[in-house]
Each structure stands twice: as C-alpha cells, then as structure tokens.
C-alpha cells in the first residue's frame, strides 16, 4: 500500500471536469485507489464517490493505492491532482 498527501490547486476543487479526468486516469490502473478528505474516503474510480467528498481549492487529500501497480498509480493520480488548474 502506498499513500501520498496532495494539495488540490484547482479553483473548483475536485468537481465535474477535474473529477472526470481523475476517474479516467485511476481507471487505467489495476490497483484499488482511494482518496480521503475531511474524514471521508472514496474510490477514485467512482465519479459519484469523488464528487461526494466535496473537495475544495487548497484542500489536502490523501491518495492511497493498493495492488500490482500501486506505486505508479499513486504517483500518477497525485501528479494529476496537483496539475489540475482552472
């Protein structure tokens, strides 16, 4: 299991378009990937799950990946979250 703390820089947080990009990226990995925010946890491969967290700009989230490609999955998903800007 690999975990990373990431700060969300997108002005809209993880809503609609950024969340869709995140789900697409996460779905390309075999590993189980989750995101934690404000005491809540969601599967990153679920758009509804990601949106339900209500992640806002400048929030810190914890990305956790577990599985065959966990290191790469956590790294790529974390990079995507950091690069999302609007």
Active-site residue, from 9, 15, 57, 62: 15
Question: Sign of the C-alpha dihedral, residues 48, 83, 21, 64?
Answer: negative
**Is 62 a known active-site residue?**
no
Q: How many CB atoms lie within 10 A of CB 49?
A: 17
Instruction: State the Cα–Cα distance between residues 69 and 77, nearest whole angstrom.
Output: 12
Catalytic positions, written as ranges: 15
């Amino acid at each position: 299991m690999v975990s990373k703390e990431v700060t969300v820089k997108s002005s809209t947080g993880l809503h609609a378009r950024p969340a869709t990009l995140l789900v697409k990226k996460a779905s390309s990995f075999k590993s189980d990937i989750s995101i934690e925010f404000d005491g809540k946890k969601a599967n990153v491969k679920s758009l509804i799950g990601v949106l339900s967290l209500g992640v806002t700009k400048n929030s810190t989230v914890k990305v956790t990946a577990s599985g065959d490609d966990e290191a790469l999955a956590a790294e790529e998903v974390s990079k995507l979250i950091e690069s999302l800007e609007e």
